[in-house]
Structure 1
Amino acid sequence: MQPSAGPALPHTRSRGVHWLTTAVALGAVVAAVALVEPADASPTAAAKPAAPPVHVPPPDPHAVTYPLTCAPGDAVDVISQAAVDMDGDGRPETVVVVRCHSDTGTPPSGVYVLASPKSGTGAPHIAQMLVDPREDRQISGFHVAGHAVKATVLGFSSDTTPRCCPDLRRDYTWEWRQGRYVAIPGPAPNSV
């Protein structure tokens, strides 16, 4: 901007009084802002450290009754288990592979997600069945990767296929999506 020609106007000159008045007003505004607190603030709230997260143990797979049809007197074998907080609620679930006990042969397996009661007391329960043992499947390669469960599901192409030797296989991943566990199958099944 170019200076104007002619004499300076009286209202455009800065004086020390103007600067002093501006500085005092600005200081008063800053002090007022520093003294104002939000309505929900309290002097002790800022001094309290955040509460440490409560450790919740994963559900015990031996404390659950599974919907398996085992021979009278046969126990349920827990073949594999892994604890993971799949739903992100801060409390771990236990994902478990179980089957009826057998001294010979390989009975079908079931895969279940176990959860503890929200109250924190009481026995764990089955939150969801991922593989139904009535489908006559066997499980291998079971593991947890991050917040996902992965396993290879083995099956039989016909009723005449010996139960010792599954001839179908497919990899699966289960993830928590929109309030439930979703199975994501791998490539189409191939014969072993």
Structure 2
Amino acid sequence: EQRTTTRGGAPVPAPDPAAARFPLECGAVGTTVARHATGDLDGDGRPETVAVAHCDAGSGTPPAGVYVLTRTNGAAPRVVATLVDPADRTTVKELDVRDGAVSATLLGYSSPDVPRCCPDQEEQVSWRWQGNAFVRSAGDLARSA
């Protein structure tokens, strides 16, 4: 677990994604956190957690969301930004937080005819906090062989 020191000198744990409520409509199946990474994204000295969450479908490849979590004054973690919306119908292959930036490999589909099991597009993306929002930069969308 990554800890960052606050201005007061006390270590603060990163928000626990298992304790967060994600803006997903999953009905009775609930949600699952597929992966997460932590780091200070906004330079305030406290770590945020970036979590990849999706409905716990049991089988298939449900679309995922990428969410930034924060915690204030010991409260439960809360979602403060959505970097990838599940409505985009992508999945997340890799996720990393380093030097204040979030990077991910997104897998997607070139058309509705591509089976959900077999994404045929891959994109490298990153986000960095600038001003009052996360700004996304992307590499080229590459087709898998």
- TM-score, normalised with respect to structure 1: 0.68
2:79 is the counterpart of 1:126: yes
The answer to whether the 8 Å contact 1:87/1:179 transfers is no
Moved more, 141-150 or 93-102: 141-150
Matches within 5 A, 1:99-110: 99-110=54-65
Shift of the 178–52 alpha-carbon distance from structure 1 to 2, 3 Å rule, reads closer
Bigger strand fraction: 2
2:79 is the counterpart of 1:79: no
The answer to whether the 8 Å contact 2:33/2:54 transfers is yes
Measure how far apart 1:69 and its partner are: 2.0
- Between 1 and 2, higher relative CO (CA 8 Å, sep ≥ 6) is seen in 2
2:135 is the counterpart of 1:182: yes
- Name the CA distance, whole Å, in 2 between partners of 1:69 and 1:168: 25
What CA deviation, in whole Å up to 9, does each residue of 1:72-102 have, x standing for no partner?
A: 3212111111110010101110000011112
Matches within 5 A, 1:1-192: 53-70=9-26, 72-117=27-72, 120-186=73-139, 188-192=140-144
Measure how far apart 1:165 and its partner are: 0.6
SS in 1 for 2:12: coil
Q: CA RMSD in A?
A: 1.4
The answer to whether the 8 Å contact 1:150/1:172 transfers is yes
Query: Aligned pairs, how many?
Result: 138
Any unmatched runs of 5+ in structure 1? 1-50
Q: Which has the larger radius of gyration?
A: 1
Any unmatched runs of 5+ in structure 2? 1-6
Bigger helix fraction: 1
- Could you list the structure 1 runs, at least 4 aligned residues long, displaced by more than 2 angstroms after superposition: none
- Name the CA distance, whole Å, in 2 between partners of 1:160 and 1:182: 31
The answer to whether the 8 Å contact 2:39/2:98 transfers is no
- TM-score, normalised with respect to structure 2: 0.89
Percent identity between matched residues is: 41
